Structure 1
Amino acid sequence: MTVSDWGQLLLLGALWGGSFFFARIAVAEIPPLALVLYRVSIAALVLHLWLRLRHISFAPAIARSASFLTLALLNNVIPFSLIFSGQTKIGAGLASVLYATTPLWTVLVANLLTADEKLSTSKLMGVALGIGGAAAMIGPGFFSNFGGPTWAKLAVIGAAVSYAFAAVFAKRFRDMKPVVVATGQLTASTILMTPIVFLLYDSSDILSANISIWLAIGSLAIVTTAFAFILYFNLIASAGATNASLVTLLVPASAIILSTAFLGERLEPYEFLGLALIASSLVVVDGRLLRWRRRIDIGKRT
């Protein structure tokens, strides 16, 4: 990956880590699936306005509406539903580690379905280190929450697999502007989520909230969804599905760092260990440092 790719990956990890702040506030008064609808619909509206202001046509997305409905299912509707279901029965620590397996599934799916992202030892080693880092950041609480029914664990793993297929599927949109891809996915997600929410909830359940909740929803939709998905699809087009999926390793790390910086929380020793393992995993997946070291060793022998 280039320096620009790494910058976008780190920024995306920070944004999606920050989304936990806003979601934690909003979910106190808004049902989870309704929050999903608000998140995707407001983000879609903002991006449509942005396209209009920049005179960028949305017509290419309309012409491929079936593909965008598939992307929305794989990247929003299915994984959100599976994660919400699984978390009714298993702890957040275990769920986050299962979610962090997304790069592993992406490596495997990309190896099967693409010609340019084949399996390598460095990728597998890096992903394994990253998953270990995510588990280490949970600390002792990870083992205390290891119980729960098998179906709930499989639901969260199913969400990770769905994200993997979504990352690979999104590569077919590399000929389109990332902002158009983001707008198309979020528009399709809004179309799919609207009937689900209105069938499940009364209007009083999803409309009654105070101003702080609506501010949190707006921040969640505009900053950590609309802008973040532009970065995500740009990263897929530039660095590939496997590298883009590494953001799932950064999300728990950035959430903990943000909590430390803005909420006065303290990092525990095991959290420092987790951060070190995640950083090591990114270096291994990138491969440049290992290749540089190998060239030095060869130079010394010659």
Structure 2
Amino acid sequence: MESGGSRAGQSGIAIQFCLLALAWGASFLFIKIGLDGLSPAQVVWARMVFGALALGAIMLIARRPVPRDAALWGHLTVVTILLCVVPFLLFSWAEQHISSSLASIYNATTPLTTMAFAAVVLSTERITRDRGTGLVLGFAGVLLIIGPWSIAGEHNLLAQLACLGATTCYGLAFTYLRKFVSPRGVPAVTVAFIQVSAGAAIMVLATPLLAGSPMTLTWPVVSSMIALGAVSTGLAYIMNTNIVAAWGAANAAAVTYVTPIVGVVLGIIVLDEPLSWNQPVGAVLVIAGILTAHGRLTQLSARMKQPESTRTGR
């Protein structure tokens, strides 16, 4: 029997899981609102700076030291360009032309792009039958989401391709992290602080180039940028770290299945965004591809074939 403390701890992790899904799913809504008064690059500037401030405060409170390893900082600067600066710019630019709902659906392809790069770069993650089937299903889902028959205008297509470009950057960044950063054993919170701070430094250095763009700093714009940076970028890293530590990486990755639902629901309810049939159906195919690639459907099928007494433990 679980102790009361253990049950409370698991409940706390479950709450963090739900909050993480909300934070990451809402990030596309925050971007859309921010674009009402800022340029795409200014949105990224705010996201990185507020995210760095939030993580910096957490580092100070936890009294975590900042590593002085120049090689680590170099690797994480590469990571921040691939995992933060470039994809954040692509998503922000894309949301000028497509809905936040659609952008959140495309974000769900990240595990598939990660798997594709990992298969090429990491010897321990070769393409198996399940992974190959999952990639094919995911690719079919992407084609369905794009809906070539219903694309209205060049910018719509380019915006969707920009979202795919962003998740491709994510996939490359996660693979780079596994190969060059994970073996160093640096705590995840410290890694997050360095990479977000490096990204913030890049955007601050670009301030003279961004200052010329007009800004309309309404209350919704400012509050959405604070939430995007401090919550969806800063605190979200901490919650994700806690979930991985408690549940393991595979179970923590299940948040990927929930964030598109949050993004779509918020886009429809808050922004009254339209949703065509092919987008959620394509998203289901993408998620089915992720589950297949990770062997979840094979495990479920094998479990269902077991005698009932074995499945129930009787």
Match of 1:162 among 154, 165, 169: 169
Match of 1:192 among 187, 202, 217: 202
Closer/same/farther in 2, CA of residues 100 and 183 from structure 1, 3 Å limit: same
Partner of 1:218: 226
Equivalent pair of 2:44/2:92 in contact (CA under 8 Å): no
CA RMSD of aligned residues (A): 4.2
Q: Structure 1: which 5+ residue stretches go unaligned?
A: none
Equivalent pair of 1:75/1:163 in contact (CA under 8 Å): yes
Secondary structure at 2:206 match in 1: helix
Q: Which amino acid letter does the alignment assign opposite residue 205 of structure 1?
A: P
Match of 2:298 among 269, 290, 293: 290
Is structure 2 residue 189 aligned with structure 1 residue 179? yes
Is structure 2 residue 249 aligned with structure 1 residue 239? yes
CA shift for structure 1 position 190:
0.8
Is structure 2 residue 99 aligned with structure 1 residue 80? no
Same amino acid, percent of matched pairs: 26
* 60-69 or 257-266, larger mean C-alpha shift: 257-266
CA shift for structure 1 position 49:
1.0
Secondary structure at 2:194 match in 1: helix
Is structure 2 residue 149 aligned with structure 1 residue 143? yes
Is structure 2 residue 42 aligned with structure 1 residue 64? no
TM-score by length of 2: 0.72
Partners of 2:128 and 2:19 in 1: CA distance: 26
Closer/same/farther in 2, CA of residues 63 and 40 from structure 1, 3 Å limit: same
Match of 1:121 among 115, 123, 129: 129
Partners of 1:151 and 1:263 in 2: CA distance: 22
Match of 1:20 among 16, 23, 28: 28
Equivalent pair of 1:136/1:271 in contact (CA under 8 Å): yes
Closer/same/farther in 2, CA of residues 12 and 198 from structure 1, 3 Å limit: same
Equivalent pair of 2:109/2:286 in contact (CA under 8 Å): no
- Note the 1:80-119 alignment, pairs <5 A: 80-83=88-91, 91=98, 100-119=108-127
Q: Which amino acid letter does the alignment assign opposite residue 121 of structure 1?
A: R
Partner of 2:237: 229
CA shift for structure 1 position 219:
1.0
Post-superposition CA distance 1:183-228 (Å, at most 9, x none):
11110001111222322323x835x513332211111111111122
* 40-49 or 148-157, larger mean C-alpha shift: 148-157
Closer/same/farther in 2, CA of residues 61 and 223 from structure 1, 3 Å limit: farther
Equivalent pair of 1:102/1:245 in contact (CA under 8 Å): no
Partners of 1:114 and 1:7 in 2: CA distance: 34
Partner of 1:201: 211
Partners of 1:266 and 1:24 in 2: CA distance: 14
Partner of 1:40: 48
TM-score by length of 1: 0.74
Secondary structure at 1:59 match in 2: coil
Partners of 2:118 and 2:145 in 1: CA distance: 27
CA shift for structure 1 position 233:
6.2
Q: Which amino acid letter does the alignment assign opposite residue 154 of structure 2?
A: G
Number of residue pairs matched by the alignment = 290
Partner of 1:52: 60
Q: Which amino acid letter does the alignment assign opposite residue 207 of structure 2?
A: V
